[in-house]
Structure 1
Amino acid sequence: MSNLAQVRALSKGRTVLGAGISDRPRQLSELLGPGTWPSVDLKMDFDQYVLACVLSRALEEIDAGEATATEATGLSQVELRDIVNRSFPAPTIHAFCLEDVNDAEPGMEEELLRGLLLAHARPGDSASVRFAKIIARRALRHDHLWRELGLFDRVELSRLLSTHFPRLAAGNTDNMRWKRYFYRKLCEAEGFSLCTAAACQECKEMASCFAPEEGESIRVEP
């Protein structure tokens, strides 16, 4: 199995890194085809799969003129260069136009989300720090968080959070929607609650916190 095929196997058959982008100046076959891919350990390389999904979403937003690479990911130019250089073929770096972008400073809401995640990140793990930045940025988007990260379903998001923020993830015992859960934890940390009901079961908006996070994955190929 080729290295490219291994990466695609990680994504369960979905196109990784640039799905749905047909009109890039360089054809994706050029970006994904030649290049030497790093070896992939199918047992442990879930992180690389997630990064590929996130970078694919970033490329979509770059193509649409909605964001730069740093704005889409919450990562610095240096961090993005390091990720792409370590994990993807050399030509891929040019697709992100990093030489033309500045680091995007987080706003107050993003800082709070990032702080919550960092407080629960695995100690001394640089990957957890990067995922905290990525998740905090993508959580500001309007769709389900798993979709905004380019993942296949909520299960993959739960796995990511359990891996890098185990104590935080373990606290979601009632399977609340992850973004709702993050904001509840922020409220608790500040000593107040935005909820007016005494218990979730009595709340008229319970469905918005606990309803299934359904929707078709952006990564599903036709």
Structure 2
Amino acid sequence: MNSNKVLWFYELRRIASTPSSHIVLGLGLFLAVASPLTAWFMPDIIQNLPMPEPTWRDSYGQWEKNLHQVISIAIIIVSAHGISGGLSGGEAVLVLSRNVSRRAYISSKVFSYYALSVGVVTLGTLIVWGATNVVFGEAALLVRRSCEWFMQMTFVLAVITGAAVIWQRMVAAAGVGCAVFLLMQLGAIWESAPPAWASVPLACVVLYAAMRLYDRREIRGD
């Protein structure tokens, strides 16, 4: 039990010190600041099209677009690289030889990227709120869309983990993650689409299946 706790804290420290995580976090913070500015100057940028006066809600609309388009892809690529490399490389052989269960190891990997996603969306939402207040002079703290995005990402990261266990390749894990995320965005347009919270129990099922499969996989030390 103590070794599992040490492993979880190690993964959190690792994800906090990894340059790729810094890039994703920096990208999220930059887009959070840029969202209200883009909304404010959009009528000037597109002068030939009639547009209503921008409001503070347009700022959150820009943030939602950035969250679903840019930040999501960045997290998918970074997590696919970290999870697939961690589950099949020499690090896995070294850690698992020290009385650490495979399930604890795989869960520490995926939950570290859950933590990264929470950090990005939380800080980003707060910065959007603050920057929108500065630019527009008013803003409400809207968190529903950000929460829905994170619930969707729980399933996407679970699928990436499963793909990493099956193929043990970063490209395969990232490709499957992007495909699933795209299908979820297209499905959200459907009027009868399930609510975002339905992604969470589905993620638990996929993660459990990935852990069961990882128990039986041969780990390559290359």
Is TM > 0.5 for Structure 1 vs Structure 2? no
| Structure with the largest fraction of helix | 2
**Greater Cα radius of gyration, structure 1 or 2:** 2
**Higher RCO (C-alpha under 8 Å, 6+ residues apart):** 2
